[in-house]
Chain A
Amino acid sequence: MSSLLLVELVVNGEPHGVAIAQQRTLLEVLREDLDLTGTKHGCELGECGACTVLMDGEPHLSCLTLAIEAEGREITTVEGLATADGLHPLQNAFAELSAAQCGYCTPGMLLTAKALLDANPAPTLGETKQALSGNLCRCTGYAKILEAVSLAAERMGSRR
C-alpha cells in the first residue's frame, strides 16, 4: 500500500481527498471512490466518448486520463451540470426532446455540448456535428441530440 498517492480532486466545485494507486484512471476514481456514477464507460479505450468530463472547461476522456493528472484542475461531471436553480438548459432540452433514449451516452454528450456552447454560443449545425463526432450514441440516430443542442443554444443566447 506504500504506492498509494494522496490526491486532491476538485469535482463540481467540491474538493475530495483520495488515496489512490497512480495507474488509476480519473473514470475509475470518479465512479468507484467518489460514487459519481453519472460518468459512464463504454469502451475503456477512448473510442466512444461516454466517459467525457470537463477539465477546466475542456472535454476530456476520463478513461484515458490518470486521476493524478486531474489534480489542480476544475473537473465537471454530469452531476455538476444542474444547480440549485434547476437544470442546465442543455439538460432541459435533452429531456424535453427525448434526446436521451437509453441515456447511457447522455452524460458524455451533455458535457461535450456544454464545452461547445461555452466556447461557441451559436454553433452552426456542422460545428455541432464536429464537436459531437467523438461521442457515440446507439439509440437516437443523433437527430434529437442535434435538435436539443440547437434548442439549448437558442435559449441560452436569448438569456444573455
Chain B
Amino acid sequence: MTIVEKPRPDAAPVEAEELSVVGKPLPKVDATAKVTGRTRYTDDLRLPRMLTGKLLRSTRPHALIRRLDVSRALALPGVHAVLTGKDLPITYGILPVSQDEHTLALEKVRYVGEPVAAVAAIDEETAERAAGLIEVEYEDLPAAMSIPDALVPDTPRIHGEGSGPNVDRVAALEFGDVEAGFLEAEHLREDLFFFSGNAHMPLEQHSVLASWEAGKLTVWSSTQVPHYLHRTLAKVLELPASRIRVIAAPVGGGFGGKSDPFSHEIAAAKLAIVTNRPVKITLTREEVFYAHRGRHPVLMQVKSGFTADGRITALSFRNILDGGAFGSFGAATTYYTGALQGTTYRLPAYRFEAVRLHTNKPPCGPKRGHGTPQPRFALECHLDKVAEELGLDPVELRLRNAIEPFSQTVNHLRITSCGLIECIEKVVEASGFHDKHGRLPYGRGVGFAVSAYLSGAGLPIYFNDMSQSEVQIKVDRGGGVTVYSMAADIGQGSNSVLTYIVAEVLGIVPEDISVVTADTDLTPIDLGSYSSRVTFMAGNAALDAARKMRDLVVEAAAEKLEVDVAQLTTAGRRVFDCDDPEHGLEWEQAVHVASALRAPLVTAGSYRAPALAGPYRGSGVGPSPAYSFTAAVVELDCDQETGMVAVDQVWVAHDVGRAINPLLAVGQTEGSVYMALGEALLEQQSFRDGLLESTSLFDYKSPTVLEMPEVHTYLIETIDPEGPFGAKEAGQGPLLPVIPAVANALYDAVGVRIDEVPITPDKVLRALDLAAKGKLGRVGPKGMPAFDFPAPYRVEPPGEALP
C-alpha cells in the first residue's frame, strides 16, 4: 500500500501531559443549564402576540388533490391565516440535485402525513379545529409501499409524468477488475441482506418560532443545520438572505433527523410574514414520525472472492434503497451504501451498484451512520459466514485484510491515522472472545464486527470553494473570551469542545470563555452538525483562531516583558517565560497590554478540508479528512422458547484520534451502542394499507434502561495528524459494528442466521423451526428483484507509486 501523506511536521502530536484542558473529563459548559431546566429549547420560547401554527397533513399515500377549500377554516374566529401549496410554489430540498419538495403539497400528495395546508390561530386548539375544517378531495392513485411495488414497470410515477418504475437515483462503479478477482478466488460466496427502515426518535419534537419585524425575518428552530435552513428560507420565500436570521436553539436530540429544511419551518416563516405576528409550530410526536428522514430500508446482495488463506480477491455490492416520497439526502445516501466498505479492508477489486427508489412513504434521509450501517451489517455478517467456511477465526479473517494507516482505499479514499487493529485487539482481549466463540453453552453466544466512519464529509452539500467552518474570537478587556461559531450543539457537546480547544491554546480555563453559536446574524459560517464534522472542522477553525489570538497576546506580552516571543508560553491563566516561569503576566494583565499594543483583540480562523475526491463521478461521497475506526464484541442470550434475544454485554473500542473530553467521547460511544441495539433488535418503521403503524413511542419500540446491557468502552488514541489536537469523530462510527455483532452473536448462540434487522423474536423462532426441520436455519431476503443496472463506470484503483 502507498503512504499517501506523512504527518505534517507543524501538527506534531502534543503529549497528553502537556495539556491542561484537552483530554480532561470536564463537565460540559452547558451542564448546569441542562440539569436545572434552564436550557431554552425552541418550544420553550414565547413572543408577545405569538400565534400557534398547525399543519394539515395528507390522509392518502398517493393521490391528486382535486379540491382544496379553506373558506370554513378562515371563517373560524381566532384564525389569522391559512396557507396552501399555491402560496409557496418554489421547490426546495437539502441537496441541489433534489429540489423536489413543496412546503405544502401542490396538486398531488405522495405520502400519508405530507403537509397540505398550514393554519395560524390564536391558540393550538383553534388552529387544530381550523385544520379540521379544511376540505380536501383526493383522487387516489396506486401507491408504491415497498421495493417490489416501486419496481412495477407500469405504475404511476410518484415524481414526473406518466408511468414506469419509480427510480430516483442509480449508481454503478467498479474499481479494478472484479470478475477477474472472482475468477482468481478459491472461495466464492454470495449473500442477501435486508435492513429495515427506522427512525431517529429525538426526545424533543421538532419546533420552530418565526418572527417578522420591520422587513426582517427571525427564525428559531430545532435544527442541526442553521446555514442550510437560511439558504432554503431565502429561496422559497424569495427574500434576500440578509433579511433572514436563523438561530438554532439548543437541540433536544437530532441524530440526523433535523438536518433537512422542513415544511413546518418554511410554513411558520410565511405565516409570520402574512399575519405580521410571531408564529410557533411544534410538531406532535405523530408528526415527527411523518417528518421522518430516517434510516433507508436497503436490500443488499454481497458477493466476495477469497483465497484459501482468507485474503479478499474481490468484493461486490448491489443495493436497492427504499427512499420514500422525496429526495432528501438520498442521492448521497445511495453512494454512502457503497463508499466505506474499503475503509476497513484492502480490496484489490470492488464493484458497487445501487438504485434508490421512490415509494409513497415518509421520506428517508440521514440517520446516524448515514447509509453505511446497512452495508456494514451486510458485510460483517457475510465475512462471519466466509470465515466459518474457510475454517478461519472471524477475527483473524479481519486482521488478514485490515486496512493500514496512511494508505488509500480501492475507491481512492485517503486513510491517515488508523487504529483498526488496536481496536480489534482491545475488544477481543477484553471480552475473552476466543475463549467464548463457539464454546459457550447453547443459547449463549458472542459476535464480532468492525467498522469505520467519516470525521466530516470532505465536500460541502452544495458545490462551493469557500471554507467549511469559521470561528471568531473576541477578547474583552477584562480577560473574558467569546468564541463565535455557527456549529449547532445538538447534545453532542460541540459548544464544550470549541471551548476546551480555545482554553487549551490560550492557557486559560473553560470558565473564562463564553460561546455564541448557531446564529446566522452573529456567528461565522459552519455548515452544520452532520457527518460527524464539527469536532474536526469547527475544532480546527477554533484552533486556528485561538492560535492567532495567542500570538496577539503573546507578542504584546513579549514587548512588555522584554523577552523573545519564542520564550513565552501560555498556561495556568498566565503568559510567562518558559525558562523563568516567575517572569510573566497574569492573563488579565497580558490582555491589558495586548489591548493597548495589538487592538482590536479579535481573530478569526477557518477550515476547509483538503481536496480528496477521487477521479470519478460520485467520488464526492466518501472522502473525509480522517476516519474513525471501531471494533465491537457482543455477548447475548437467546431464549429458544420465545425467540427473545437479550444482550448481556458489549465491548466497544473506538479510535477517536484523541478524546478532546473522554467523558463526552465515551458518552457518544455508549449512546451509539444503545441506538445500534435498538436498530438490531427492536426498532422498525412499519406500514399497513399505506398507513404508518409506528407513530407513537409506544408503537415504535426503543430500548429502555431495562434493555440496556453493560457497555465496556475503550477509547483508542491515534492522534490524527490533521485533527485538532489529533481528534477525530465519536458520534456516529461506534454504532456501526454493533448491529452485525449482534447478528453474529446470535448465530454463535443458536446456530441460525437472521439476515434482516431488526432481529425480532418471530424471525428467530422461524429460523429455529427451519433448522429443527433440517432446513437452512436462516431468515432473510430470498431474492433480488430484477433491475437493469447500467454498466459500471470503471475506475483504476490507486497505484503503488506515490501520487
A6 at interface (Cβ–Cβ under 8 A)? no
Instruction: Say yes or no: B204 contacts A42, CB within 8 Å.
Output: yes
Of all chain A residues, the one with the shortest Cβ separation from B704 is A133
Residues of chain B contacted by A144 (CB below 8 angstroms): 667, 670
Could you tell me which residues of chain B, from 685 to 707, have a CB within 8 Å of some CB in chain A?
696-698, 702, 704-706
* Residue of A40, A90, A101 most packed against chain B (CB within 10 A): A101
Question: Whole-angstrom distance from the CB of A86 to the nearest CB of chain B?
Answer: 10
**A137 and B203 contact, Cβ closer than 8 Å, known pairs A47-B698, A103-B491:** yes
Instruction: Say yes or no: B205 contacts A41, CB within 8 Å.
Output: yes
Q: With A and B bound together, what is the CA distance between A134 and B702 in angstroms?
A: 12
Instruction: Say yes or no: A78 contacts B667, CB within 8 Å.
Output: no
Instruction: Say yes or no: B667 contacts A40, CB within 8 Å.
Output: no
B716 at interface (Cβ–Cβ under 8 A)? no
B250 at interface (Cβ–Cβ under 8 A)? yes
Instruction: Say yes or no: B35 contacts A87, CB within 8 Å.
Output: yes
Question: Whole-angstrom distance from the CB of A6 to the nearest CB of chain B?
Answer: 20
Identify A143's interface contact among B204, B254, B706, B708, CB under 8 A: B708
A107 at interface (Cβ–Cβ under 8 A)? yes
Bitwise, B572-590 to A at CB < 8 A (1) or not (0) is: 0000000000000000000
Instruction: Say yes or no: B674 contacts A141, CB within 8 Å.
Output: yes
Could you tell me which residues of chain A, from 31 to 57, have a CB within 8 Å of some CB in chain B?
31, 35-45, 47-48, 50
Instruction: Say yes or no: A140 contacts B41, CB within 8 Å.
Output: no
Instruction: Say yes or no: B35 contacts A110, CB within 8 Å.
Output: yes
Interface residues on B, range: 35 or more
A122 at interface (Cβ–Cβ under 8 A)? no
Could you tell me which residues of chain A, from 70 to 86, have a CB within 8 Å of some CB in chain B?
77-79, 81-82
B6 at interface (Cβ–Cβ under 8 A)? no
Bitwise, A120-155 to B at CB < 8 A (1) or not (0) is: 000000000110111111111111111000000000
Could you tell me which residues of chain B, from 754 to 777, have a CB within 8 Å of some CB in chain A?
none
Question: Whole-angstrom distance from the CB of B496 to the nearest CB of chain A?
Answer: 9
Instruction: Say yes or no: B491 contacts A132, CB within 8 Å.
Output: no
Instruction: Say yes or no: B493 contacts A101, CB within 8 Å.
Output: yes
* Residue of B34, B251, B254, B711 most packed against chain A (CB within 10 A): B34
Residues of chain A contacted by B711 (CB below 8 angstroms): 141, 143
**A141 and B673 contact, Cβ closer than 8 Å, known pairs A38-B38, A48-B697, A136-B702:** yes
Question: Whole-angstrom distance from the CB of B386 to the nearest CB of chain A?
Answer: 31
Q: With A and B bound together, what is the CA distance between A104 and B204 in angstroms?
A: 6
Bitwise, B272-314 to A at CB < 8 A (1) or not (0) is: 0000000000001100000000000000000000000000000
Question: Whole-angstrom distance from the CB of A70 to the nearest CB of chain B?
Answer: 18
**A39 and B37 contact, Cβ closer than 8 Å, known pairs A102-B491, A145-B705:** yes
**A37 and B706 contact, Cβ closer than 8 Å, known pairs A44-B284, A104-B253:** no
A96 at interface (Cβ–Cβ under 8 A)? yes
Of all chain A residues, the one with the shortest Cβ separation from B668 is A101
Give the A-binding residues of B (Cβ under 8 A): 27-28, 30-41, 43-44, 46, 200-205, 250-255, 284-285, 490-493, 663-664, 667, 670-675, 696-698, 702, 704-706, 708, 711
* 8 A-B pairs closest in CB distance: A38-B37, A102-B491, A141-B674, A104-B252, A103-B34, A78-B37, A37-B44, A95-B31
Please give 13 more A-B residue pairs, beta carbons under 8 A apart, in addition to A105-B203, A133-B704.
A37-B37, A37-B44, A40-B204, A41-B205, A42-B204, A94-B34, A98-B27, A98-B664, A104-B252, A133-B706, A136-B697, A138-B253, A144-B670
Q: Can you give 20 A-B contacts (C-beta < 8 A)?
A: A37-B37, A37-B44, A40-B252, A44-B285, A45-B697, A47-B696, A94-B31, A94-B34, A101-B671, A102-B491, A103-B39, A104-B203, A133-B704, A136-B702, A138-B200, A138-B203, A139-B203, A139-B671, A141-B711, A142-B708
